[in-house]
Structure 1
Amino acid sequence: MFWDSAAPYLAAFLLAAVGCFWGAHRARSFEAPVIRRPLTLLLVLTGTWALTVVPTLLSVPRIVMYASYVFGLGVGISTVVVWLWFCSAYAGHAYHLDRRLQFVAAGLVGAILALKATNPLHGAYFEPTVASDPFVHFAPEAGPLYWTITALAYVGSGVGLYLLFETYHESTLDTTNVAVLTVAIGLPVAPKLLSAWWPESLLLLYYEPIGAAVFAVGVVTVARERFMAVHVPARRQLPDQLPDLLFLTDADGRVVDYNESAECVFPDLPERVGDPFSAIAPRVADAEDATVELDRDGDARSYRIDRRRITLGEEAIGRAVVLSDVTELEARRRSLQQQTEHVRSVSEAIAHELRNPIAIVLGNLRVLEEEIDAADAIESGPLERHNRRIGAAIEAAERIDVVTDDFIDILRYGTPIAETSERPLESVLSDAWPDDTTALTLEGVADTGVVADGTRCVELFRLLFRLHRERGATSVRVRRDGTDALVVDSDGEPFSTDTPEQLFRYGREAGEDSRVLLANAWTLSTLHGWSIAAPEGDRLSIRLTDVSLR
């Protein structure tokens, strides 16, 4: 026997208890509650576990030895569960928040405690004996359940060690001192196995509190700063460098993780891990729009909300909420909206100023035409020539009126598109078609949505339909071809041009009725990011590609 008296054992376990309790006290000053809580509880339990060994080494009544030993067994298995909680939280995992794992752990610990408490009935865990060599101490004879549960506890402890060393490995920091301290936790396995294999060398005791004490003293003193810095694993260091606010919630909507940017806007996040996201950020959770305004360092900032489900196979296990700062973009959007409103007001003013004189000209010309017609009925001759000139002037004025409307429309709709939404394509085509729908045929567009500016998309198809009708079409067809392009064709007169790529440029098409329509259709399609062309063939055909169809 290496030690022939109880003094070295008592000194080792008492120092371990003191080290654990002192470490627990120092750990309470750690800022991160996700680490502080499990570490503090782990060290308190381990210190208590060390104290339960002391009565088994003293010459006290057997019942005291037995009660202290059994109590230590219960504290020991509970320590393993808290150890796994600490390792999961330190490594940035959410295993400790999983309700199913919590129930499994509680059930397993309850079953083990029951087996230990009922040992006097089945005797499969240990046989209580008191030995006097080399000194009086409690020396239970371990049964099969003892070694089975001990092996299970070591497996659990090994899983925790794996999570810690994985974190150290993935970290970009120097983790040497923290890793050495973590190795100390596992070293007590050696004297435990040695005492089982060579009973004459050491007493068969739980030496684990000694290793935990070394770890506790180390991480709250010499390795404190590095321990807290490394606790953010490498896979989280990149999210922490992102300017976006990142929240991770479990299937129940409780926050399990976040990045530093999120903590800047929500300073109480470290204290509220595990709380519902709707309670931490109610404005974000309840936001119906895609953007929300939040206060950051005293400044109002606009954030775009992006919610993504996190799945494992087909099962949803959580959700990621990302808030991207779009303050500058939102400011530009609002400025663009103001400019658009300004353009619209100007276009309406221009329309008013142009239409009024044109209306006066047309009105007077028609009155004059009626008077000449009346006079021409009495006396023919020069009046007939004047009548033809007046008729030409009326047609020109009417043409000016139509072209003015077209230019006003393109001025109104030609500003950049700020927002789009999805709308059923059939509804868009129905709104754009002004006449009886019997002359309009739809193919392959059922249950199809189009992502666009709703008003301008309707205007685009209205122009295309009008173009077909003005070129003599009696029926128009809209179809979705195999390449997801939209084709608007009819029995109207096809275009004949040597430069089809220039057809939609204003002034390229000689026909007055088509010139402005083609240019306006090109503008509206280009604003959406779509391409427009007029393929050659026997039928009049307009083809839209790159359309956002759903």
Structure 2
Amino acid sequence: MALSPVFLAYVLAFGAAVLGCAIGFRRALQVADADTRRGLAGVVAGSGGWALFELAFLVAPSRFLKYVAYDLSLVVGLSTVGAWLYFCSAYTGRSFHRNTTYRRAAVATYVGIVAVKLTNHVHGLYFTTTPVQSPFPHLAIQHGTIHWLVAGLSYALVAVGFFMLFELFLEADYDTRPLGALVGVTALPVALDVVGFASPLLVDINYEPLGVAAFALGVLYVYEAEFLAVQLTDGVDDAIVYLDANDRIREYNGRASDLFTALNGATGQPFDDVLPEVAETLGDDHPVVERTVDGETRYYLASDTSFSLGQSDIGRMVVFSDVTRTERKRRELERHNEQLEGFAAAIRHELLNTLQIVGGRVTVAGNALDRGNVETARESLRTASETSDRMSSIVEDLSVLARHGKTLGDTERVDFADAVADAWADADVDDLSLSLEGDGDVVADPTRLRELLASAFAFAAHNGASEVTVERGDDWFAIAGDGRPPGDTEPAAFFEYGSAVPDSEAGILLPNVRMLAAVHGWSASLDTEYEQGVRVVVSDTESVSGPVDGAA
């Protein structure tokens, strides 16, 4: 007699569940965390045994064997609830699965329910059977009240487990859609149970093994990376990007997508293509990434860690830890060290050279007087006096470095035009003319900003400028003088203490400009494309629109 297609479909479905669980069991044994491994292996093994006894129920040749197979399927199936809760507790970092009271209560409940099931042939309160011929010859099951009470309790406990998983995904700021998809697949057999109970369209048996097997295989093969990444990052509040074995983006949490908008929609793309600056930084000795968050510059330490399933590496996890406070202190210390080095270079070069000149001229004057050459002596002493005056100017410049090179305290909104006017009045600019293009406020220390501008103006005057132009942009300003152009001199040399660029009499004016900019977190550089003289650009400033504090 030909076998019914419906019967073959049932056999294939439950047979596939048994085979899938057998394959998944080996995979589950490779999970690194011991408790998670035991729980997941128990779920897979219980689901496989459940499906196996359901299959035996379908193919057993006698009514007695069918009855025994179905009874045993209920016993094994109930064990998956305990394994499921054990897995969920271990995976989410809870300790319920290790609590002695909970474990004893679970075992006692399980033994009590199993006792009712195994004695069903005596009392018949759990289920009854009736031979039927449609849709194929089988033993129809009519579940009793106790079965539905146990089923309700089991579904409630399973729901608690799913709640623990969802809570972990949400706390880790990961996409919950993969978990939602697996929940949907797992819950679908429950609907089949209801249809089988309420109508003759389906055989009234337990379809849950199919759903549990689908969940286990989904965790172990389809979404293994996501589930492993979430467990590894439990309790980590940082931005995280998960890469597969080929360094392609597999997953990232919400904090990462907020920090790097390029990640949105980039799943499956090479990490180097999506975030090339981060990929390059990972190879540095100090892999710190700078980002702007809510208008504030913040720093994140990028670290990557390989992780594996069993003996095989399955990907990398890139974690971005906020180290803004530490990095700011490090950069400030670095700036102080550079400033001290510059201070030493300035003293060594400027003051010692000047003292040597003064000493040499005084010696020449003395020798000239011994020979009776009064004119030569007078000229030498005049040069020594002028050099001494220049030394006073250098000392004043050094005092600016010492006084204003300290860590910046409070800042305020400063009217840029007023700061330019005050600095112009302070600087020794003779009869130079000044023009200002652009306006607005800048967040700065008023005194340091004025000193910065005054030093730039003094340099322009020394460099032979007849006109100084100040420009104000959104996050920058520039001071240009139409004096001697830099020529072939390296632009960086203009800002180095002790470099004597463009000549020794320039003092340390532009180095002080760079230092006063660095104190604010700005950068100063020479515009190499400016050919009419020297143009100093101060960038990365913070522009503020609106009236100055205290203004009407």
Report the TM-score, using the length of structure 2 for normalisation.
0.41
